[in-house]
């Protein structure tokens, strides 16, 4: 078993800052743009991005929400155990806004599809883009791509990507484990 | 959990997982778009062999908000009147490819019987004087919203305990969650050996209310009473009815529940039923969320 550190030597902070600047480059002062992080594991990343952006945009408010997609997944009744839902906390409407979906790993694309379904409960967005810390290229099962990507890796089905952030009790490490 | 036949058959952790899921569904039903697609490939039959308004509408809304396909059936307008047996009726409905059955039946144990003979998942929406699990779950969910936790919580159940399925399911649920339960009513309406369930028994309403943090006021089930259990409704109301005067004399914020339908002026006066302390309409709202949680968790178990 091989364990690969995807962001060695504190590179994670640099990457997060780069992603924030890319967001600023595209969306300016975030007047018409909102962040929606996906439960359960995208929210730690989402909170970090939202803090960084707030610091980069003094005097501005960056709207941030957390979206649970459990009830919108397409694998309900196809798994052995019941999927446990998490809390959705979106205190604003996304009608006519640019939405940035945030998740830790982009893999099959199915979670993102469910998220696009789930967010419609809060309005019809003007546009939707996806930010992911890790893009597992060549593993997509749906025509979905990320716009803001931390790192792109080529993986096999048997590989595993784990994101351990401070907020979740980890120490800011992202590992690719090869079987 | 494959079926929900009664609270007796589920564990404390089952109840907590229903509550946690219900929290999420309560969020969902308070959004402008109250629907999620989870059960879009599930067909549910609501079989009501006994009258119901609240439970039936609540289940139907819960099913529709989960995107299930729903068929309704009531005994009064069906072939049951022509002499068909329960098993035949249900098997005929299942032959039309139904995945889940929500059933209310006048005979205690009808659901357990059915669960031994059919493949579909069964949810008990009331079986005679036996159990009404989703009512107990929504009562406890509402208490949880008010009090946070159940350890040491004192809950009184007042009224027609003998003929009430709500009472039995509530006793099981509250005890599993760690609350203390006392039943109160006229001696003729309290089962002789109910003490063996570990509940306190009292025949004194005022004393019971002084003891309790919350009280569940039950309706007198005249339709199930074959003989006269008390001299008159007026006397019952004077001895066991909850009115403003008693409530004020307690000098505390007693939480009042009622499973409905209310007989205003009998077990509870209008003034009390419409007061701030009564959470009767919260119970109804929570009923949909709790039933969505039960349906979701049962359907999700492959």
Q: What pLDDT is attached to residue A2?
A: 86
Inter-chain contact A77–B33, Cβ cutoff 8 Å?
no
Q: Does A122 touch chain B (CB under 8 A)?
A: yes
The pLDDT, as a whole number, for residue A76 is 83
Which of the following is catalytic: B132, B176, B182, B291? B132
Residues B141 and B48 in one domain: no
The pLDDT score that the predictor gives to residue A54 is: 94
Work out how many domains chain A is built from and give that number: 1
For the cut 80, the answer to whether the pLDDT of residue B82 exceeds it is no
Please state, in angstroms and rounded to a whole number, the distance separating the CA atoms of residues B163 and B188: 11
Give the C-alpha separation, B101 to B39, whole Å.
14
The CATH number linked to B41 is: 3.40.50.1370
Asked whether B93 and B74 are in contact (CB, 8 A), the reply is: no
Query: In this structure, are B294 and B277 located in the same domain?
Result: no
Same domain as B223, residue B189: yes
> Do the strands A160-164 and A173-178 form a parallel or antiparallel pair, or are they unpaired?
antiparallel
Q: Which B residues 66-85 touch A at CB under 8 Å?
A: 66
Q: Write out pLDDT tens, residues B91-145.
A: 998 898 999 999 999 999 999 999 999 989 999 999 999 999 999 999 999 999 9
Check whether residue B159 and residue B260 sit in a common domain. Answer: yes
Closest-CA distance, A68 to chain B, in angstroms, reads: 9
Angstroms from A148 CA to nearest CA on chain B:
29
Q: Tell me the backbone φ, ψ of residue A99, rounded to 5 degrees.
A: -105, 130
Select which of B2, B81, B82, B97 is catalytic. Answer: B82
Question: Has residue B301 got a pLDDT over 80?
Answer: no
| pLDDT score at B302 | 61
Residue ranges making up the domain that contains A130: 2-75+83-178
- Per the annotation, the verdict on B132 as an active-site residue is yes
CA distance B20 to chain A (A): 8
ipTM: 0.77
**DSSP state for residue B218 in the 8-state scheme:** P
Burial label for B249, CB within 10 Å (0-12, 13-18, 19+), is exposed
Extract the residue ranges of chain A whose pLDDT is less than 50.
none
| Residues in CB range of B4: below 8 A, 6 or more apart | B10, B122, B123, B124, B133, B134, B294, B298
Q: Pseudo-torsion of CA B200, B202, B207, B210, nearest 10°?
A: 30
Q: For chain A, say whether B94 makes contact (Cβ under 8 Å).
A: no
Q: What is the CATH number of the domain that holds A51?
A: 3.40.50.2020
How sure is the predictor about B266, in pLDDT bands with cuts at 50, 70 and 90?
very high
Asked if residue B290 and residue B279 are part of one domain, the reply reads: no
* Per-residue model confidence (pLDDT) at position B225: 82
**Phi, psi of B19, rounded to the nearest 5 degrees:** -65, -45
Looking at residue B194, what DSSP letter applies?
Answer: G
B253/B275 same-domain check: yes
Q: Is residue B254 a part of any domain in this protein?
A: yes
pLDDT attached to residue B32: 85
Which range of residues forms the domain containing residue B274?
A: 133-283
- The structural domain count of chain B equals 2
Instruction: Say how far apart CA A76 and CA B81 lie, in whole Å.
Output: 39
pLDDT of residue B242: 96
- For residues B88 and B145, membership in a common domain is answered with no
pTM of the model: 0.88
Q: Is residue B1 part of a domain?
A: no
């Amino acid at each position: 078993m091989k364990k690969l550190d995807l962001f060695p030597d504190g590179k994670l902070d640099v990457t997060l800052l780069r992603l924030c600047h890319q967001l600023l480059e595209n969306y300016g002062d975030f007047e018409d743009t909102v962040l929606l992080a996906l439960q359960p594991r995208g929210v730690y990343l989402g909170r970090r991005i939202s803090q960084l952006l707030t610091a980069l945009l003094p005097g501005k408010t960056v709207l941030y929400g957390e979206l649970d997609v459990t009830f919108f997944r397409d694998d309900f009744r196809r798994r052995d155990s019941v999927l446990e839902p998490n809390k959705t906390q979106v205190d604003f409407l996304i009608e006519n806004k640019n939405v940035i979906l945030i998740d830790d790993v982009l893999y099959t694309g199915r979670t993102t599809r469910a998220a696009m379904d789930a967010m419609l409960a809060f309005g019809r967005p003007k546009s939707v883009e996806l930010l992911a810390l890790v893009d597992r290229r060549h593993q997509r099962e749906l025509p979905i791509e990320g716009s803001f990507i931390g790192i792109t890796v080529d993986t096999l089905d048997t590989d595993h990507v784990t994101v351990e952030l401070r907020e979740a009790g980890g120490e800011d490490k992202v590992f690719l484990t090869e079987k | 959990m494959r079926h929900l036949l009664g609270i007796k058959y589920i564990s404390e952790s089952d109840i907590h997982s229903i509550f946690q899921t219900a929290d999420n569904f309560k969020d969902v039903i308070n959004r402008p778009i109250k629907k999620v697609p989870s059960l879009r490939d599930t067909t549910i039959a609501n079989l009501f062999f006994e009258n119901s308004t609240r439970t039936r509408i609540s289940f139907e809304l819960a099913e529709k908000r989960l995107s299930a396909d729903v068929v309704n059936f009531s005994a009064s307008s069906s072939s049951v009147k022509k002499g068909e047996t329960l098993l035949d009726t249900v098997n005929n409905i299942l032959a039309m490819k139904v995945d889940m059955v929500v059933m209310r039946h006048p005979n205690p144990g009808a659901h357990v019987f059915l669960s031994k003979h059919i493949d579909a998942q069964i949810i008990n929406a009331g079986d005679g004087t036996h159990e009404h699990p989703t009512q107990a779950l929504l009562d406890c969910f509402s208490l949880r919203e008010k009090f946070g936790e159940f350890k040491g919580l004192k809950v009184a159940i007042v009224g027609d305990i003998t003929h009430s399925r709500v009472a039995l399911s509530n006793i099981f649920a509250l005890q599993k969650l760690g609350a203390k339960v006392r039943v109160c009513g006229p001696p003729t309406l309290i089962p002789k050996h109910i003490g063996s369930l570990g509940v306190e028994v009292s025949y004194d309403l005022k004393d019971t209310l002084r003891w309790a943090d919350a009280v569940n006021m039950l309706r007198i089930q005249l339709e199930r009473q074959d003989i006269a259990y008390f001299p008159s409704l007026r006397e019952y109301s004077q001895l066991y009815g909850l009115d403003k005067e008693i409530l004020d004399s307690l000098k505390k914020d007693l939480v009042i529940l009622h499973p409905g339908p209310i007989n205003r002026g009998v077990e509870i006066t209008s003034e009390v039923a419409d007061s701030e302390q009564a959470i009767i309409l919260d119970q109804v709202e929570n009923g949909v969320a709790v039933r969505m949680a039960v349906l979701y968790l049962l359907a999700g178990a492959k």
